[in-house]
Amino acid sequence: MKKLLICNHKMFLTYDEAIILKNKMNDINFDDINLVVCPSYLNFDVFKDYTLGAQNCFYEDKGAYTGEISCYDLNLRKIKYSIVGHSDRRKYETNEEINLKVKSLLKNSMTPILCIGETKMDKELRRTSEVLKKQLYSALDGVVLDKSQELVIAYEPVWAIGTGNNLSKEQIEDTLMYLRKLLDLKEIHNYKLLYGGSVNKSNINFILNDIVDGYLLGNASINDDELKYITKCIK
């Protein structure tokens, strides 16, 4: 199966910088992977040749919610994915809100890219399994997938994001096996499991693993050299 590669541009690129990146990406062959680009809302049009994802969304369809963008509206604009629960945002939202966003995405024919991951402190206190279970189950509370619906779940240890630290292949494998078990128990079968957190060209060959359905990139996704190399490795 083709690997899924999700590029989270965060707030890294201005419009002009996005155009420069897109021009360089034109030289990369993405044929044998499934690429999803999550630019800032202002840069969607620059990357319209690719499958697009939002970096965030809101669960109400319409209303007086200044500054928010609804799943309803994203779907009308043919945006098929949205990140939800990213650690950059978890500090501003509750598990209940994340759950509402997951449900709204599914209701609006979109695929949630649900991010979960432990902090450095969770890891030091050896409560990673408990934290992941809580984040996963609270986000999926009351979620029943029909045959046409899919989830993407990205395991991103917070301490690995943007730090250059990353897990070993074995640690990724163990955690993803654990997540598969948790999903099985909830009878959720239609999903892809990704790994994210400082994935780059110097470590991709060490963490490549059949158990991983794909990768969620941050910094490496705005560097065409990194992107080209990673794409070649995961084909």
Contact 34, 5 (CB under 8 A): yes
* Helix (H/G/I), strand (E/B), else coil: 127: coil
* Helix (H/G/I), strand (E/B), else coil: 74: helix
Q: Which helix (H) or strand (E) holds 97?
A: helix 95-107
Catalytic choice (9, 118, 156, 226): 156
Which one, 72 or 175, has the nearer CB to ligand 13P?
Answer: 175
Which one, 60 or 205, has the nearer CB to ligand 13P?
Answer: 205
CB of 163 to ligand 13P, least distance (A): 7
CB of 7 to ligand 13P, least distance (A): 9
CB of 192 to ligand 13P, least distance (A): 15
Residue 189 a catalytic site member: no
User: In the complex, which residues of this chain contact ligand 13P (CB under 6 A)?
Assistant: 8, 86, 156, 161-162, 196-199, 216-220
Catalytic choice (86, 96, 97, 189): 86
Q: How far apart are CA 48 and CA 67, in angstroms?
A: 23
Tokens representing 170 are 């074995």
Tokens representing 103 are 């449900």
Which one, 104 or 226, has the nearer CB to ligand 13P?
Answer: 226
Closest residue by beta carbon to ligand 13P: 218
Q: How far is CA 154 from the centre of its chain?
A: 5
Which one, 36 or 46, has the nearer CB to ligand 13P?
Answer: 36
Give residue for tokens 């969770």: 122
Q: How far apart are CA 5 and CA 221, in angstroms?
A: 9
CB of 87 to ligand 13P, least distance (A): 7
Which backbone phi and psi does 194 adopt, to 5 degrees?
-115, 160
Residue 130 a catalytic site member: no
* Active-site residue list: 86, 156
